[in-house]
Amino acid sequence: MAETWMEQVRNEVRTLEQLEQYIDVSDDERHAITTLKTRWGTTPYFASLMDKDDPTCPIRMQVIPSMKEQVNEFGMKDYLMWKENRATDEVRPDSIARQYKDRIAFTVTEVCGIYCRHCFRKELVVDQDLKLRFDVEEGLEWIREHPEIRDVLVTGGDPLLLSDEKLSYLIGALREIPHVEMIRIGSRLPIVLPQRITEGLKKAIGGFHKVPVWINTQCNHPKEITAETERAVFELLSCGINVGNQAVLLKGINDDVPTFRELHQKLLRTRIRPYYVFYCEPAPGIDHFRTPVEKGAELIRDALRGHTTGLAQPMYVLATNIGKIPLMPDYYIVDKNDKEYTLRNYKGETTKIPNMPA
């Protein structure tokens, strides 16, 4: 696996024949690959993490198309238009999605390192039914004209697939905008293409600077973390870039207590701070990945809070068109009166503290 990141991108695994070099493709997988008209693919590195014999391998399930994607009983039509408030009165470039006053998501590409089957931007990124225009200059100009924007989330697609030169230009241009205080990059590459974290990338976006860069990656299963990931994350931290994780709660992949706990412990061991766990969004064609809404809060209650290190606790959120809505477990307050609160811990033990009149 001595390939450079660009060779990895050139050698993307996206045909049945290529996939067969990594795994014994099941009949269902073969049927979906040859029938569905959908963009799919992975870096050779991420493909090499697949279990050769097990179609329920979490890496396989995230990468290989399934006939279940044709079912859309519970998904929303035109999901992305709703979710990203693209149909509202405020005139914005296609590249700018807005839900909050002080921060925006800035889409700079629609190309990814892998095409996640559960992607909530599937209409755009995977199925390519939705056509939008991502003009970086137009987006930068919009941000320059909006002094209330202090936090820019550069997203995609996968922004780290841009060349060092383009990233250096983009991050440099954002850092020159006086009201931009911080930059966040959403990228799966530390997980699916850790080879991308090079000296050149560190020079392009890292270093001591008054406008810091934070990277939020997406890792959904402990199997996605390797020695390569550890190296990549360390390199990012070594040039001042913080690394967080935004996992997606996925049925059959990470929705059981042991996997959920191991994922969060392993992230910390890799120096990645768990930030969010997202409810799998009601985008079309991903019903088979979605759990009941409460599941994420139950997992935090049963797998994390109290059971392991406090730093390993993400916030569980539902991403909606009006922003992210946190949904945390609500077992803590058993009773409350004028005098005191009765509180419950993760073991079911209770204690009391005095109430404080306002």
Residues in the annotated binding site: 112, 116, 119
Q: What are phi and psi of 340, to 5 degrees?
A: -155, 165
Q: Which helix (H) or strand (E) holds 351?
A: strand 350-354
Q: How far apart are the C-alpha atoms of 126 and 118, rounded to whole Å?
A: 10
Q: Which does 185 bind (CB under 5 to 8 A by kind): ligand SF4, ligand PLP, none?
A: none
Q: Which of 44-52, 68-76, 117-125, 129-137 is the region at the interface with ligand SF4 (rule: CB under 6 A)?
A: 117-125
The 182-186 sheet, strands edge to edge = 96-98, 103-107, 151-155, 182-186, 213-217, 242-248, 273-278, 315-320, 323-326
- Examine residue 112 and tell whether it contacts ligand SF4 (CB under 6 A): yes
Out of 39, 68, 86, 103, the only residue in the binding site for ligand PLP (CB under 6 A) is 103
Residues of each annotated binding site for [4Fe-4S] cluster: 112, 116, 119
CA dist list (Å): 220 to 7, 191, 263, 279: 25, 10, 7, 12
Q: How far apart are the C-alpha atoms of 341 and 79, rounded to whole Å?
A: 42
Adjacent-strand bridge partners of 103: 151
Q: Binding mask 274-313 vs ligand PLP (x if CB under 6 A, - otherwise)?
A: ----------------------------------------
- Examine residue 102 and tell whether it contacts ligand PLP (CB under 6 A): no
Contact of 46 with 220, CB cutoff 8 Å: no
Quote the least distance from Cβ 357 to ligand SF4, whole Å.
48
What is the amino acid identity at position 164?
D
Q: How far apart are the C-alpha atoms of 344 and 14, rounded to whole Å?
A: 50
Q: How far apart are the C-alpha atoms of 59 and 71, rounded to whole Å?
A: 21
- Examine residue 249 and tell whether it contacts ligand PLP (CB under 6 A): no
Closest residue to ligand PLP, Cβ-based?
105
Quote the least distance from Cβ 185 to ligand PLP, whole Å.
12
Q: Which does 153 bind (CB under 5 to 8 A by kind): ligand PLP, ligand SF4, none?
A: ligand PLP
| Residue closer to ligand PLP, measured from CB, 23 or 125 | 125
What is the amino acid identity at position 61?
M
Is the four-CA dihedral 315, 317, 319, 322 of positive or negative sign? negative
- Examine residue 188 and tell whether it contacts ligand SF4 (CB under 6 A): yes
Q: Which of 100-108, 131-139, 203-211, 290-298 is the region at the interface with ligand PLP (rule: CB under 6 A)?
A: 100-108
Q: Which of residues 69-98 bind ligand PLP (CB under 6 A)?
A: 97-98
Cβ atoms within 10 Å, residue 227: 9
Q: Which of residues 142-171 bind ligand SF4 (CB under 6 A)?
A: 156-158
| Residue closer to ligand SF4, measured from CB, 177 or 193 | 193
Say if strands 350-354 and 340-344 run parallel, antiparallel, or are unpaired: antiparallel
- Examine residue 108 and tell whether it contacts ligand PLP (CB under 6 A): no
What is the amino acid identity at position 316?
Y
What is the amino acid identity at position 167?
L
Q: Binding mask 258-297 vs ligand SF4 (x if CB under 6 A, - otherwise)?
A: ----------------------------------------
Out of 31, 68, 146, 324, the only residue in the binding site for ligand PLP (CB under 6 A) is 324
Q: How far apart are the C-alpha atoms of 105 and 99, rounded to whole Å?
A: 9
Applying CB under 6 A, which residues contact ligand PLP? 97-100, 103-105, 153, 324
Site residues for ligand SF4 per CB under 6 A? 112, 115-116, 119, 121, 125, 156-158, 188
